[in-house]
Structure 1
Amino acid sequence: MMSNLFSIFDPSTNLFYLPLNWISTFLGLMFIPYSFWLIPNRHYILWNLIISKLHNEFKNLLGPNSFNGSTFIFISIFSFVLFNNFLGLLPYIFTSTSHLSISLSITLSLWLSFMFYGWINNSQHMFIHMIPQGTPSILMPFMVLIETISNLIRPGTLSVRLTANMIAGHLLLTLLSNTGINMPNYLIIFLIFIQILLLTLESAVAIIQAYVISILSTLYSNEVN
């Protein structure tokens, strides 16, 4: 039962044994309406409003020392994760963000770039960040160890948070749908109502997780400046 349950996250297909499921990562562009590319229109105005809000928020978090256009890196991450999270809610579409190979690739590459930039250009600031202000002398070695460990596990925590949230909702939807086969007819209507509520919740989780991974990446970037 468990092997069949987790097989929904299997990236392989039966077509020439090629992992064609990963093509779903790029299907987000096909779901964009054609009218989006015509300016002005409702789709463009709505998405432009969202990007403007994110740009202003990321700009405030990065501070005055940030480079011009650096916020678009995190806006691109938000858009990419958001598209793939929503695509995973559609039937028979592979959820690429439920795999560490995607989420860890994003977070690890960002974290490595932040670390290289910080230690090469602001090494003194990086050393100072190891010990919070006001730490007693006897606790300084422990604080350095704790801060180092917390810094090293950041890409892992970001990727596992995204992956776990995507897997949890899909597993719950799968478990409920499997139980519907043996249910009487009057309970199936109730089950469909529960599934609709769960899909609504998963839609909110898809937005929240895309926002969380982008906002935390912005905060980590701010620490190296």
Structure 2
Amino acid sequence: MMTNLFSIFEPSSSIFSLSLNWSSTFLGIIFLPWFFWASSSRWLFLWMKTYHLLNKEFKTILGPSNMGISFIFVSLFSYILFNNLLGLTPYTFTSSSHLSMTLTLALPLWVSFILFGWINHTQHMFEHLVPQGTPGVLMPFMVLIETTSNIIRPGTLAIRLAANMIAGHLLLTLLGNTGPFLPNSLITILIFSQILLLLLEAAVAIIQSYVFAILSTLYASEVN
């Protein structure tokens, strides 16, 4: 029984005391046919083309010393995109709308970037705290601002993804709950608006996956 609007995003569904909500993250792998990987197809060609374009873009941002780390961000994009699109399936728990997942993705990346930068490029990291041309009087304030900006990065990454995914789902839920109370003349308009909103959510799922991956790549490029 739904006690409030946000309870649809709570991982509480279970069978025999086994939580099933988070298992939706891995459901798509079960339904992928084996020949999707064994033989060429238009979908596979489209995905490989996207894969190579993203890898090329991430390598350009990271520079010549990326050491193959661009594949990590392509995999990150694929993982988030898969979860975002899977969340559009009816009666499926959207794991990417929870901070427990998004922060788990963002925080280890940020910590690894910071540790790598301060251990291997200490002087370069200090230079980032004081932008070039900053007056001497403003240097303490700039250090404070830049330090705060760096600290909140994983939080902004996690909240941006979770908030964008949960906002559309809440709107779909609100519109869907008004259906039984609408006259028959407005049902068609409601269904049409739901379809348009679902298409918008699909676009948001792709865009947010790309934004998360590209921002993580930019953060990684700053410590090189």
TM range (shorter): over 0.9
> Using a 3 Å threshold, how does the CA distance of structure 1 residues 46 and 199 change in structure 2: closer, same or farther?
same
**Aligned mates of 1:133, 1:219 — CA distance in 2:** 19
Matching of residues 79-158 of structure 1 within 5 Å: 79-158=78-157
In the TM superposition, what whole-angstrom CA distance separates every residue of 1:136-184 from its partner, at most 9, and x where no partner exists?
Answer: 1111000000000000000000000000001100000000000011111
Q: Give the TM-score of the pair, scaled to structure 2.
A: 0.96
Which residue matches 1:176?
175
**Aligned mates of 2:101, 2:74 — CA distance in 1:** 17
The CA RMSD measured in Å over matched residues stands at: 1.4
Which residue matches 1:40?
40
Q: CA deviation at 1:38?
A: 2.4
Indicate the larger mover: 30-39 or 40-49: 30-39
Amino acid corresponding to residue 15 of structure 2 in structure 1: L
Which residue matches 1:52?
52
Indicate the larger mover: 16-25 or 114-123: 16-25
Amino acid corresponding to residue 12 of structure 1 in structure 2: S
**Aligned mates of 2:133, 2:104 — CA distance in 1:** 36
Contact 1:130 1:144 in 2 (8 A): yes
Amino acid corresponding to residue 53 of structure 1 in structure 2: L
Contact 2:14 2:20 in 1 (8 A): no
Amino acid corresponding to residue 10 of structure 1 in structure 2: E
**Aligned mates of 1:137, 1:50 — CA distance in 2:** 47
> Using a 3 Å threshold, how does the CA distance of structure 1 residues 215 and 31 change in structure 2: closer, same or farther?
farther
Which residue matches 2:23?
23
Aligned pairs, number: 224
Secondary structure at 1:105's aligned position in 2?
A: helix
Which residue matches 1:78?
77
Residue identity over aligned pairs, in percent, reads 64
In the TM superposition, what whole-angstrom CA distance separates every residue of 1:104-146 from its partner, at most 9, and x where no partner exists?
Answer: 0000010000011101111111011111111111110000000
Q: CA deviation at 1:33?
A: 4.3
Q: Give the TM-score of the pair, scaled to structure 1.
A: 0.96
Contact 2:14 2:21 in 1 (8 A): no
Gaps of 5+ in 1: none
Q: CA deviation at 1:31?
A: 4.2
Contact 1:35 1:41 in 2 (8 A): no
